[in-house]
Amino acid sequence: MTKEQEPLTSSELATLWVVYEKKTMMVRIIDFFLVHNQDPEARKIFQSFIKGESKFVKELSQIFKQEGAAVPVGFTENDVNHSAPKLYDDIFEVMYLRTMMKIASGIHALHISMSYRKDIMNLYQKFTKYAEAFCEETTQYLLDKGVLPKSPYINLPKHVEFAKTKDYRSGLKLTGHRRPLNAVEVAYLYQTVEANIAGMKLMTGFAQVAKAKDIRQYFFRGKELSKQITKTFSNILMESDINAPATSAGRVTNSTMSPFSDKLMMYNTSLLNSFALGSNAIGTTFSLRKDLPLKMMGTAKDILDFASDGGDLMIEHGLMEEPPQMEDRTQLSKGQNG
């Protein structure tokens, strides 16, 4: 038996399932954006993305079939309404794709480490390269349009310093003021604020168009949570005289007709929750000022509560597709005994 003929491990099956769900969702969303977007450069990016992403979906579907596994439902034409008006302006649609490609880059890199078969590892390497290419392309597009604030510049150090007292960890100086943020701390805080500004606008649109009342309320809660996180971390940046990222670009329209199913929007929100929790964990690890991990852990709890309630809501509405299940050995044994 060659390595490619070996059966999929549970982790390989799990990651392929997760990626299939995500990629079918992205095809539906970007296809809707392409129909309505008026900017030639953005349309070119979307056309290229859909071509590659659709090819990947077919490739994943073929793997499931070859392995004798059921192909997930994922997201289909039933999850998009092409006759609905635009929900976001042209600029935000590119901002959205950039955010999702940042998430995809991280997910695929993680999935490589969870794979054993060479063909599956090669697949994730290809996915990672693809996501990174579109992250770069969308970033350059937004920079060229002058709508993507860069993280702040810093005077480059001329020599290396070592922390001499525990005050560096506490962040407090003898004067009672906190020490300025270091470059690593600024980087993670800045990215958190940037991500939540985009998330706030996404949730605003979802809240306007969701069909079920409790799901609309959930998205409104998500918008308020993003605003709260943005305010908390922006204030920390401002304490060190650092301007928080801000842009007037990326607008939500007045449409109340949903282009997407509640299922698709809830799943998209779940993905963003997972990304936010992962980013908070990394930020906590690399923040050396003790007050920062405490704030990040408080934020993580709020996100976890929000994510948990979202999972319950998806189940209540029958919107959650179950991942492949491990065998219930206890139940099998009972059946055999019977």
Q: Are 51 and 41 in contact (CB under 8 A)?
A: no
- pLDDT for the residue 331: 62
Structure tokens belonging to residue 306: 């929000």
Distance CA 52, CA 36 (A): 20
In the chain, DSSP finds a helix count (H) and a strand count (E) of 10, 0
- Could you check whether 8-144 and 167-316 share the same CATH topology? yes
Rounded CA-CA distance 266/316 in Å is: 12
Q: How far apart are CA 329 and CA 103, in angstroms?
A: 35
Contact present, 65 and 320 (Cβ < 8 Å): no
Instruction: Read off the DSSP letter of residue 202.
Output: H
Secondary structure of residue 252 in the 3-state scheme: strand
What are the extents of the domains in the chain?
Answer: 8-144, 167-316
Nearest partner of 14 among 26, 22, 3, judged by Cα: 22
Residues 245-263: b if buried by 16+ CB within 10 A, e if exposed: bebebbebeeeeebbbbbb
Report the CATH number of the 167-316 domain. Answer: 1.20.1260.10
Question: Are the C-beta atoms of residues 99 and 22 closer than 8 Å to each other?
Answer: no
Supply 210's token pair. Answer: 């969701």
How far is it, in rounded angstroms, from Cα 308 to Cα 27?
A: 26
Q: What angle do CA 97, 226, 313 make, to 5 degrees?
A: 85
Averaged in consecutive runs of 10 residues, what is the pLDDT profile of the chain (338 residues)? 73 96 98 96 98 98 96 97 96 97 93 95 97 98 94 88 76 60 90 92 97 98 96 91 81 96 98 88 80 88 96 97 75 58
Structure confidence by residue, pLDDT tens digits, 101-134? 999 999 999 999 999 999 999 999 999 999 999 9
Residues 6 or more apart whose CB falls under 8 angstroms from that of 292 comprise 171, 185, 189, 236, 283, 284
- Please give the biggest Cα pair distance in the chain: 77
Q: The domain 8-144 belongs to what CATH superfamily?
A: Ferritin, core subunit, four-helix bundle (1.20.1260.10)
The amino acid present at 254, given as its one-letter code, is N
Euclidean distance between CA atoms 111 and 58, whole angstroms: 19
122 Cβ contact partners less than 8 Å away, ≥ 6 residues apart: none
Question: Measured between alpha carbons, how far is 270 from 130 in angstroms, rounded to an integer?
Answer: 22
Residue 210, burial from CB neighbour count under 10 angstroms (0-12, 13-18, 19+): buried
Place of tokens 């054993």: 116
**Which residues, in sequence order, are CB contacts of 197 under 8 Å at separation 6+?**
226, 230, 245, 246, 247
CB 92 within 8 A of CB 200: no
285-318 per-position pLDDT tens digit: 778 788 888 888 999 999 999 999 999 999 999 9
